[in-house]
């Protein structure tokens, strides 16, 4: 078994087609087929059900796939670490983050990191928290900024809480305030015309659960929007929205009011695989994220606070 065979196996599993996999790997199809056949002979089991319509994994193939991904990720990590130790001033960081964090904290993190380390290659995956943890487990990411975590995954990841952030109600700065009080209750929010996020957002699940627990049905005028669109629609006065406090930074076209009865919060955490030692570049990125999170907490004031956690290692 060698890395080339594993790389070919993972690519065929990904696309479900030998011809397409060969094209992606810049190999002749007979060469790729020989690699897979040799791997199957070494393991003593068929890895694919081959058919005219495509190739699907056998039971043995399904068992091998997560192991193969991890082995390739480990080999890549060793290669990058050796390059850095050799003083080549090269490296790569693959960061994942949720959509709400990409337009706020992550934008600041990447700007700061890029200015200080222009030779480091950066890759970003913008997904929901559960999908990011899947990519982390598959070796496709080095770090992930998530807003939810599954306790069953605790052994596979090192998860460091960074910030505890309140959710606030936003409205157009050009319209009348939704309340004259310092905070607004969820029952009052339910009567306002709301713009809500796509069902794929972790934030949507949180707000839906809060309304349901309170026995409330919000007045939704538009649903299914992404974060950038929600903020723009609210700025134009179409309705209100419940968003993380962080996204209000540097947005003068929006005003916000805190929620009470109940107060809704989310915890922003940094996750990485617990069984893979971070490279030098990844360690620098971790420190940059922690420092930027501290600065964001200071700027957002009462609606955001640092989580009680040890610094990322």
| Percent of the chain residues past pLDDT 70, beyond the cut | 91
Asked if pLDDT for residue 184 goes beyond 90, the answer is yes
**What is the structure's pLDDT at 306?**
77
Min mean pLDDT across 49-53, 102-106, 154-158 is at 154-158
> Same topology for domains 3-80 and 164-266, yes or no?
no
Supply the mean pLDDT for the chain.
Answer: 87
CATH architecture, domain 164-266: 3-Layer(aba) Sandwich (3.40)
What residue segments make up the domains of the chain, in order of their start? 3-80, 164-266
Report whether pLDDT(311) > 50. no
Residue 85 has a pLDDT of 52
Dist CA 309 CA 313 (whole Å) = 11
Q: Which carries the bigger pLDDT value, residue 30 or residue 83? A: 30
**pLDDT digits over 114-169, tens only?**
888 888 889 999 988 889 999 999 899 999 999 864 444 556 899 999 998 899 99
Overall average pLDDT of the 216-237 stretch: 92
Predicted TM-score of the model (pTM): 0.65
The domain made up of 3-80 has a fold known as: Arc Repressor Mutant, subunit A (1.10.10)
Inform me whether the pLDDT recorded for 295 exceeds 90. no
Q: Is the pLDDT of residue 312 over 50?
A: no
The answer to whether residue 97 scores a pLDDT higher than 90 is yes
Tokens of 56: 């699907």
Is the per-residue pLDDT at 286 higher than 90?
yes
Among 32-41, 49-58, 111-120, 291-300, the range scoring the smallest mean pLDDT is 291-300
The answer to whether the CB of 225 falls within 8 A of the CB of 198 is yes
CA distance 289 to 270: 9
- Of 173, 185, 179, 257, whose CA–CA distance to 216 is shortest? 185
Output the CA–CA distances (angstroms, integers) from residue 238 to 58, 231, 258, 277, in the order listed: 52, 10, 20, 48
Select from 128, 136, 130 the least CA-distant residue to 95.
Answer: 136
């Amino acid at each position: 078994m060698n890395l080339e065979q594993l790389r070919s196996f993972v690519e065929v599993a990904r696309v479900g087609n030998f011809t397409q996999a060969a094209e992606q790997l810049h190999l002749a199809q007979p060469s790729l087929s020989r690699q897979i056949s040799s791997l199957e002979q070494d393991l003593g089991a068929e890895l694919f059900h081959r058919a005219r319509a495509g190739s699907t994994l056998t039971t043995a193939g399904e068992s091998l796939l997560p192991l193969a991904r991890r082995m390739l990720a480990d080999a890549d990590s060793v290669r990058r670490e050796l390059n850095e130790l050799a003083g080549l001033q090269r490296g790569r960081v693959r960061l994942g983050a949720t959509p709400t964090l990409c337009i706020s904290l992550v934008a600041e993190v990447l700007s700061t990191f890029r200015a200080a380390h222009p030779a480091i290659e950066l890759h970003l995956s913008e997904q929901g928290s559960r999908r990011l943890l899947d990519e982390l487990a598959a070796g496709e990411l080095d770090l992930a900024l998530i807003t939810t975590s599954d306790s069953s995954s605790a052994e596979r990841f090192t998860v460091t809480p960074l910030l505890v952030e309140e959710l606030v109600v936003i409205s157009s700065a050009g319209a009348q305030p939704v309340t004259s009080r310092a905070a607004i209750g969820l029952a009052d929010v339910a009567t306002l015309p709301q713009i809500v996020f796509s069902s794929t957002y972790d934030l949507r699940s949180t707000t839906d659960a809060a309304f349901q627990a309170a026995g409330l049905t919000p007045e939704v005028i538009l649903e299914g929007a992404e974060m950038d669109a929600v903020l723009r629609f609210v700025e134009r006065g179409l309705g209100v929205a419940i968003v993380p406090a962080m996204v209000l930074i540097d947005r003068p076209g929006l005003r916000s009011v805190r929620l009470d009865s109940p107060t809704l919060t989310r915890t922003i955490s940094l996750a990485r695989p617990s069984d893979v030692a971070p490279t030098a570049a990844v360690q620098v990125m971790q420190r940059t994220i922690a420092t930027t999170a501290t600065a964001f907490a200071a700027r957002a004031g009462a609606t955001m606070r640092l989580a009680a956690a040890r610094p990322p290692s």
